[in-house]
Structure 1
Amino acid sequence: MVGISDVRKSNSSLHTRNDDYIAVFVGGTSGIGEATAKELAKVVKKPTIHLVGRNQAAGSKILAELKAANPEGTFYFIQSDVSLLQNVDKACSEIKQKEKAIDLLFLSTGHLAMSKQNTTEGLENNHALRYYSRMRFIHNLLPLLTASKTPARVVTILAGGQEGKIDEDNLDLQRSWSFAKAATYAATMNSLAIEHLASLHPSVSFAHVFPGIVRTPLMNKTMGSTLGSIMGFLSKPMSISSEESGERNVFISTSAAYPPAAPGDPANVGVPLAGGLKTSVASTGKVGGGSYVLNYDGANVAKEKLMSGYRAEEFPRRVWDHTLETFKKVFDPAL
């Protein structure tokens, strides 16, 4: 666990850096994504931030707040429903027109769907947001991530440490779906995919993070204002504010505690560690291995026995192969 004082000390040192810092937030118009973007805008001297989200009004409001917080920053909003992979490609194209490199890709899309519903592309809606859409952003933006001098980091906010048993014949959740199964599959596939991607792209680090219970509007949106308010009240002693969540996520996104497996410059892997902080163990069991499964407080929560079993059966690669095949089916249904 990383204490909040260490988090704030690490984040504050970002302001001493003169290098440009370019970040993309997918799901950045509410909750955890919004809070993290706002914290990054506060602590980085001259950031460029791209927010991707569905709500134009919310996006415009957050852009104004970011500009007010840091007049030296450059901020963009891309209105997009990223449950559709074709929209993901359009958003990525817009980003590529403006940037040659990206330092951070922060992914936090999703909602608590209580029933199965497919998108027009034939993917289960929540699974598209929690997994396929995120992986499509990574797939499309990897050339820009590998061009980073920072080096780059990918952070997917979902359910690190909550992986479980999955069936290779049901990776798309079309054969069998339940609320619990959807959560387990999304968590497990995120962790397996980033482990595989870290092996293919060792100059980029990847983290799958469980955000904890964060006081955001998500409960009200899912359960309704009355029940959501009750649940929010009951969970308050166990929860953290969105502001603290943002601070902790910026730390995970920038600290040298989570380096890539093979950085181009081992002396430049993030904010230097201080105060007894150590390099984290990756999901592979290797210190500094490039793919991290983390709790909200930055602690390693990888299920080593489970992940080792999946690795022995080459599931990281098989899950990624399935992902690429799914992309092909979406963009060419005749295949």
Structure 2
Amino acid sequence: MVALQTVLQSNANIARLPSGLVALFIGATSSGIGESTLQHLAQHAPAPRIYSVARPQSVAAHETLLASLRKSNPTATITLITADISLVSEIDKIVAAVTQKETKLHIFVTAGGRMAFEGREDTREGLEPSMSTRYYSPLRAVQQLLPLLNAAPSPRVLAVLAGGREAQMNEADLDLRDPANWSYWNAAVHAATMCTLALERLARGNPRLSVVHWDPGPVATPGLAKWDKYGLTPPNQRSQDEGGTRGVFLATNDRYAVQGHGGLVPVPEGLGGVNKSGGGIFLVDADGESTDNEGVLAGFRERGVDEMVWSHTEKVWAECAARARSPKDEL
């Protein structure tokens, strides 16, 4: 376990980084881990350029938060991008907003998503929102942002979902379009498992890119509070502030950088290394340590399920793009 004091000491060293760190956040608008991670990075980094995405209905509240962060760190440039990440086609808008102003991207944090306890209600793209916000949209963002990430000296992707909890999927119905296959739990399992397999594929093709898929465990966020009425609230919850503190640690400390491509915050003295998955990414538990889920993941890779997931994902992206271009959908 990485002690909280070690995490705090590491995060204090973010202030020593060169100015101009560029970071993009998806899923930082719901008073959760993403928002807390954004707050801590904005407070520590010298003259960072931070982009944060908010749905139209969340813009006013999120802009209030961003204004407070600009006030607390006058050197920071913090830009709000309005987009609905439940729609894959909206990712183009996010990527364009960043690429128009930046030549590199050091950190991409995706922490969006929810458990669809209320049932399934598809978006106009035909996707279930908990799966699009957790998987299809953020992975599309990573794929499109690779040129900017690869231009950074030590690029990092932090996916806040359920790294290490991958499980068997319905391989004949990956997006669970058949109502008989869908449940909020199946949707969560599919999103987390496909996320790891797709991130591994991207990491193998981009060896300088460090990818962390993190399971933060129970964190006392408003999203987790909604679990109460379903009798699912877990014990031993960490505070939201600690969740964000640990999120920044994972996004900036060289302990979670691929070998030879560190360059952000040095590994704290006395803290050992962490192992990557067989597919080349860091699966990290709530305590900041690597998890071993090769019993599941190795079998997927041996059978080519990772390539099947990627082919399926590209097909879904293409379908979403076609719907966005359709005159019918514009009416």
TM-score (norm. length: structure 1): 0.90
Give the equivalent residue in structure 2 for 1:28.
28
Which residue does 1:11 correspond to in 2? Answer: 11
Partner of 1:304: 294
1:199-218 to structure 2, matched below 5 A, reads 199-218=204-223
Aligned residue among 302, 320, 324 for 2:310: 320
1:271 to 2:250 alignment: no
Given the alignment, which residue of 87, 101, 104 partners 2:104?
101
Instruction: Kindly report the root-mean-square deviation, in angstroms, between the aligned alpha carbons of the 2 structures.
Output: 2.0
Say whether the 8 Å CA contact 1:105–1:155 is kept in structure 2.
yes
1:116 corresponds to = 120
* Superimposed CA distance per residue, residues 42-85 of structure 1 (whole angstroms, 9 cap, x where no aligned partner): 21122111010110112111111211221111001112211011
The alpha-carbon deviation at position 25 of structure 1 amounts to 0.5
Secondary structure of the residue that 2:172 maps to in structure 1?
helix
C-alpha distance after superposition, 1:166-197 (max 9, x if no partner):
12221111122012211111111111111111
**SS of the counterpart of 2:95?**
helix
Q: Kindly tell me: are residues 87 and 210 of structure 1, through their superposed partners in 2, closer, same or farther at Cα, counting changes over 3 Å?
A: same
Report what 2:248 is aligned to.
250
Which residues in structure 2 correspond to 1:155-170 (within 5 Å)?
155-170=158-173
Aligned mates of 2:229, 2:122 — CA distance in 1? 26
Asked whether 1:179 is paired with 2:184, we answer: yes
Distance 1:212 1:14, change over 3 A: same
State which drifts further: 67-76 or 175-184.
175-184
1:67 to 70, 73, 76: 70
| Alpha-carbon distance in 1 for matches of 2:292, 2:64 | 37
Decide which of 134, 141, 148 is 1:130's aligned counterpart.
134
Q: Following TM superposition, by how much is the alpha carbon of 1:124 offset from its aligned partner in structure 2, in angstroms?
A: 1.5
Query: How far apart are the structure 1 equivalents of 2:318 and 2:5?
Result: 46
Q: 1:278, CA displacement in angstroms? A: 2.2
Counterpart-to-counterpart distance in 2, 1:212 and 1:196:
25
- Preserved contact between residue 203 and residue 260 of structure 1 (Cα < 8 Å): yes
Amino acid at match of 1:246: G
SS in 1 for 2:123: coil
SS at match of 2:319: helix
CA distance in 2, matches of 1:231, 1:317: 34
- Kept after mapping to 2: 8 A contact 1:24/1:104: yes
Residues in 1 aligned to 2:210 and 2:85: alpha-carbon distance in whole angstroms: 23
Q: Is the 8 A contact 2:283 2:291 kept in 1?
A: yes
Assess if the C-alpha contact under 8 Å between 2:49 and 2:76 holds in 1: yes
Higher relative contact order (Cα pairs below 8 Å, separated by 6+ residues): 2
2:276 aligned with 1:282: yes
Match status 1:42 vs 2:32: no
The size of the alignment, in residue pairs, is 319
